[in-house]
Amino acid sequence: MIKQNTLLFTMALSFLFMAMTKDEVVKVVLFGDSITQAGVQPGGYITKMKEALAKQGIKDKYQLIGAGIGGNKVYDLYLRLEEDVLEQKPNIVVIYVGVNDVWHKTSHQTGTDPDKFEKFYVALVKKFQTNGIKVICCTPAVIGERTDHSNQQDGDLNHYSNMIRNVAAKYDCPVADLRKEFLAYNLKNNPKNQESGILTTDRVHLNDVGNQLVADLLLKMIAK
């Protein structure tokens, strides 16, 4: 009888341990545009995050899901939030959007006006938080890497980044301030005032160094 009870107790502990281990997995959806879409490719920032977790021996504690679609703006994210985020039941969602909302104003005449951008962004944050999901906000990094403020969209990027910072402060969301970090890095590492090639391949999309910068910053925030 004692042996049987011991066996049952041991089995119960085993099931409890497996359940606790399963519950400890942190599921993260990285929600964005082509920068995030490329992030799951070899050398992409999401791939680099997974590799870093593996090196630390904790890859099984996190599930990183890339949900990026090229050309997306903030309202595109809103339209697909149910399927691409809520149905995944994540613990954390990283919102990385804004480049196309600014860039497409001049390249396609289909950008997003500031007031509409803010309304959709707030709607995303509130929807996720209502569903018990922690939100990490990212500011849009660069559209051109010149350090003398001569990139065409610098003013708009600064404005939209400030909107994201303000929304994040209002709704108590941590901010991965890529705009600030990219500008600081270029000031130190772009003495020739190049428009690309420091952190990007084409003024917007990330090269290996840019992907590493984003991966390092986001991983620190997710690990918290």
Which CATH number belongs to the domain containing residue 134 in this structure? 3.40.50.1110
Query: Which of the four pLDDT bands, split at 50, 70 and 90, describes residue 4?
Result: low
Q: How many domains does the chain have?
A: 1
Residue 12 in domain? no
Percent of the chain at pLDDT exceeding 90? 85
pLDDT score of 7? 47
Phi, psi of 34 (to 5 degrees): -65, -25
CA 165 to chain centre: 14
Residue 49 in domain? yes
pLDDT score of 8? 45
* Secondary structure letter of residue 25 according to DSSP: P
Q: Is the pLDDT of residue 42 over 80?
A: yes
* Secondary structure letter of residue 171 according to DSSP: T
Residue 5 in domain? no
What 204-210 contacts at long range (C-beta under 8 Å, 24+ apart), as own/partner pairs, is 204/35, 204/99, 204/103, 204/142, 204/143, 205/34, 205/35, 205/38, 206/35, 206/38, 206/44, 206/45, 208/43, 210/45, 210/141, 210/182
pLDDT score of 23? 55
pTM for the model: 0.89
pLDDT score of 200? 98
pLDDT digits (tens, 9 = 90+) for 159-195: 999 999 999 999 999 999 999 999 999 999 999 999 9
Query: Which of the four pLDDT bands, split at 50, 70 and 90, describes residue 110?
Result: confident
Residue 121 in domain? yes
Residue 148 in domain? yes
Unique residue bearing structure tokens 């270029």:
186
Task: Show the domain range for 172.
Answer: 25-223
Residue 18 in domain? no
Interaxial angle between packed helices 154-170 and 99-107, expressed in degrees from 0 to 180 and rounded to the nearest 10: 150
Lowest mean pLDDT among 98-112, 129-143, 166-180: 98-112
Residue 19 in domain? no
Q: Is the pLDDT of residue 12 over 90?
A: no
Burial category of 150 from C-beta neighbours within 10 Å (exposed 0-12, middle 13-18, buried 19 and up): exposed
**Is residue 39 within 8 Å of 47, Cβ to Cβ?**
yes
Residue 169 in domain? yes
pLDDT score of 223? 87
Lowest mean pLDDT among 9-13, 104-108, 204-208: 9-13
Separation of alpha carbons 13 and 124, rounded Å: 40
